[in-house]
Structure 1
Amino acid sequence: MPQDNAERPDATWVIDGIEGHFARVELEDGETVDMALASLPRGVREGDVIRVHLADGDFTLEIDHAETQRQREAAQTQLDALNRTAPAGEIDL
């Protein structure tokens, strides 16, 4: 039996990229979809975490600034670790 929207838990999306008037949005299951920027919270940027709140068959979207910052810091930490082990100088292909 399908769940009613009011019973579904909140979802989390991530803005994967922005091109023109559209954003590529990564859903919780890893699928990406294109959405009009006008349908997302004002000021949304690449990398932002969006919380989807479902209630009574309707939904609201908001940027989760704290989670966005946490994910950006984790990504920077990973990048810094990779750079520490990178060979010095030019890379020849």
Structure 2
Amino acid sequence: MPKRKKEPEARASHVVVDAIEGKYARVELPDGTTEDWSLASLPEGVKEGDVVRVQESGGDFEMEVDRAETEQRRSTAQRKLEALNQDAPTEEINL
């Protein structure tokens, strides 16, 4: 009986759209480095701050905006910002 070829394992990761400039988007990779990707290669309507799930299987890539992960990261960042600002002076600062 011939051996069956093993199907390529699907792998998923996330990248974060750091900035959009013209026809390019700067994305932060899982290791923290950044790359400029063609905006056309990303899901339509992608915005700065969006988390994009990248699924690779057998050399093919599928991408979609992960709305739940994007919202969770935005909420976490907002809570951290509010915690940092809780003791900030409320009156005008004169230099």
| Aligned positions of 1:29-40 closer than 5 A | 29-40=31-42
Q: CA RMSD in A?
A: 1.5
Q: Which stretches of structure 1, 4 residues or longer, exceed 4 Å deviation after superposition?
A: none
Give aligned pairs, total.
88
The equivalent of 1:26 in structure 2 is: 28
Distance 1:28 1:91 in 2: 39
Of the three residues 77, 81, 85, the one matched with 1:79 is 81
List alignment gaps of at least 5 residues for structure 2.
1-7
Identity of aligned residues (%): 55
| Aligned positions of 1:10-21 closer than 5 A | 10-21=12-23
Give the number of the structure whose residues are more often helix, by fraction. 1
TM-score normalised by length of structure 1: 0.86
Higher-Rg member (1/2):
2
